Amino acid sequence: MFTNNPFAELSATISPAVMQTFVVVMFVLVAGGTLLDVVHKKSGKYFVNHWRSAKSKATRQVGRGEKTLLAVKTAVVEGLTSGEFCSVRRRIAHLLTMYGFLAYVITTVILVFGYPTPATPAPAILPILWYVGAFLVCLGGYWFWFFIRVDVAAEGYSPFRVVRADLFVLSLVASATLALLWALAQSGGNTAVANVLLGLYLLATTILFGSVPWSKFAHMFYKPAAAFQKRLEDASGFRRNLPAPANKPAIFGSDRQHPRHY
């Protein structure tokens, strides 16, 4: 079952051209939504102005080779291993979701465009990776949603409390969950249930990729750029105007002490 291409089975009722068009529209929504988010929040303008300010205040020039090394380090630490997270649990949940999402999206594109019908059977590894990717998204997403979120774990709010900032996580988990349920129902021959789940799956996926300007989807593009810029500034000797550390003497009296944990 897990080696069957669910999109090839779907081609019996929906034309592969329709499926391919839907995927293209989703990519267009992401690109357009990200650009709209950049323009609306003026993120690009902020990065450029900050880069110019940091460059004018730098104490040394960073060479091309050093920039390349910094880019590689950023890709490995912040990109591949999510080193910006201090919490081990949150980092693991993020990595499960991130790599699951990549496997889920990439294999979807390959299966829809490369192997759209039973006449073009896909290698067994591709459907397996699709199922594994969707499952990892669910594993990391549900773990984060019910056990790791700050407002749930630290502030005592109900895990079912939803705000606009949760749109990305919820739509991502919903898309992956409904994808698995739809594929399983379709493989089991339950056409009516499969059709309902397919409609919900497409709806959740459209919300996921169409809500970029209002969700945190665009952050995955900002974070690597911000992390690289920070490393570049540190290497150039740029000093940020940050408050003094908590253990430094206060202006009017005694030293600040680190909090005690019991």
Q: Cβ–Cβ contacts within 10 Å for residue 252, how many?
A: 5
In a domain, 34, yes or no: yes
> Do the domain assignments include residue 239?
no
Comparing C-alpha atoms, which of 105, 149, 151, 155 is closest to residue 130? 105
Tokens of 186: 């379709």
Q: What residues make up the domain containing 175?
A: 6-39+64-231
| Across 147-168, average pLDDT | 68
CATH number, domain of 24, equals 1.20.950
Angle at which helices 125-143 and 167-187 pack, to 10 degrees?
Answer: 140
The mean pLDDT of 231-247, rounded to a whole number, is 62
Number of domains observed in the structure of the chain = 1
Tell me, what's the pLDDT at 71? 77
pLDDT digits (tens, 9 = 90+) for 188-217: 888 999 999 999 999 999 999 998 877 666
| Torsion 131-180-172-9 (CA) sign | positive
Longest dimension (CA), the chain: 79
Q: What is the C-alpha to C-alpha distance for residues 40 and 241, in angstroms, rounded to an integer?
A: 26
SS3 of 243, please?
A: coil
Q: Which of 18-22, 118-122, 159-163 has the lowest mean pLDDT?
A: 159-163
49: in domain: no
**Residue 168 — pLDDT band, cuts 50, 70, 90?**
confident
Domain-located, residue 255: no
Q: What number of other Cβ atoms are within 10 A of residue 30's Cβ?
A: 17
Residue 199 lies in a domain: yes
Looking at the domain assignment, is residue 56 inside a domain? Answer: no
State CA 87 to chain mean position distance: 18
Query: 90-94, 149-153, 236-240 — which is least confidently predicted?
Result: 149-153
Q: What is the C-alpha separation between 80 and 156, in angstroms, rounded?
A: 31
- pLDDT band of 173, cuts 50, 70, 90: very high
Residue 259 lies in a domain: no
Q: Measure the CA–CA gap between 42 and 40, rounded to whole angstroms.
A: 6
CA distance 202 to 10: 13
Q: Of all residues in the chain, what percent carry a pLDDT higher than 90?
A: 41
> Quick check: is 247 in a domain?
no
Half-sphere exposure of 188 (CA within 13 A, CB side): 11
Radius of gyration over every alpha carbon of the chain, rounded to an integer in angstroms: 23
Q: What is the mean pLDDT of residues 161-188?
A: 89
